[in-house]
Amino acid sequence: DAKTTQPTSMDCAEGRAANLPCNHSTISGNEYVYWYRQIHSQGPQYIIHGLKNNETNEMASLIITEDRKSSTLILPHATLRDTAVYYCIGSSSNTGKLIFGQGTTLQVKP
Amino acid sequence: GAGVSQSPSNKVTEKGKDVELRCDPISGHTALYWYRQSLGQGLEFLIYFQGNSAPDKSGLPSDRFSAERTGGSVSTLTIQRTQQEDSAVYLCASSLSYSLAGGVEQFFGPGTRLTVL
């Protein structure tokens, strides 16, 4: 399973795009990159995942570099409710188990 | 539809007692995972079920921990002779059958907060 590295914390102004980086230089060819977030006192919430191509859904966009060694999660218009810990996870396990790191604490400020 | 549910939401127990934590996955989800989150620690994987079998128990911290799943649905995590270091939030997640081809989203329950006095 790929080890991921994320900044410990980030701030973002409300209404602006939040760009959360993740390094996963040890990722292998068949490993997906997953993003989850955890809002205080709640269970983690799935955001998005991708393999090679950039992905977009109603919550966010995921940009994966061509060499797949890093990715960026983009929340296009951050709101106060997006304040959470964001986890970038790479997993090639045959079981799908998620190996969480410490994540990035995103603070959206008014 | 209903999401993943867990019970109890909170459990306070005395050191040395046994506890049972329950997880009701989303109907139709064959994969079920248990994780725990200790204060100041990240989320750590405990055990994975595919149907009623547990092909990956690698995260269980000791033989005091066990889990079972019946009918391909409800799962119970049992901790025997609880210790203070077992205090944590225990989270359950379920998903459609996992496949490397495509990846799959896990849906998490709200967790059970266990406090061992």
Q: In the predicted model, what is the mean pLDDT of residues B42-69?
A: 94
- The model's pLDDT over A26-85, given as tens digits with 9 standing for 90+, comes to 887 778 899 999 998 889 999 999 988 899 999 999 999 999 999 999 999 999 999 999
Among B24, B48, B100, B107, the residue to mutate for chain A (most A Cβ within 10 A): B100
Instruction: Name the residue in chain A with its Cα closest to that of B42.
Output: A102
Cβ atoms of B13 and B19 within 8 Å: the answer is: yes
Alpha-carbon distance A1 to nearest alpha carbon in chain B (angstroms): 13
- The model's pLDDT over B72-111, given as tens digits with 9 standing for 90+, comes to 899 999 999 999 999 999 999 999 877 655 678 899 999 9
Q: Is the pLDDT of residue A92 over 70?
A: no
**C-alpha distances out from residue B59 to B4, B36, B48, Å:** 21, 10, 9
- Using a 10 angstrom Cβ sphere, with 0-12 exposed, 13-18 middle and 19 or more buried, the burial of residue A78 is buried
**Mean pLDDT over all residues of chain B?**
92
**Residues of chain B found within 8 Å of residue A30, distances taken between Cβ atoms:** 100
The single-letter DSSP state of residue B25 is P
Nearest to A44 among B45, B56, B108 (CB): B108
- Would you call the peptide bond into B61 cis, given omega within 30 degrees of 0 as the criterion? no
Higher pLDDT, A73 or B39: A73
| Whole-number pLDDT of residue A23 | 94
Q: Is the pLDDT of residue B49 over 90?
A: yes
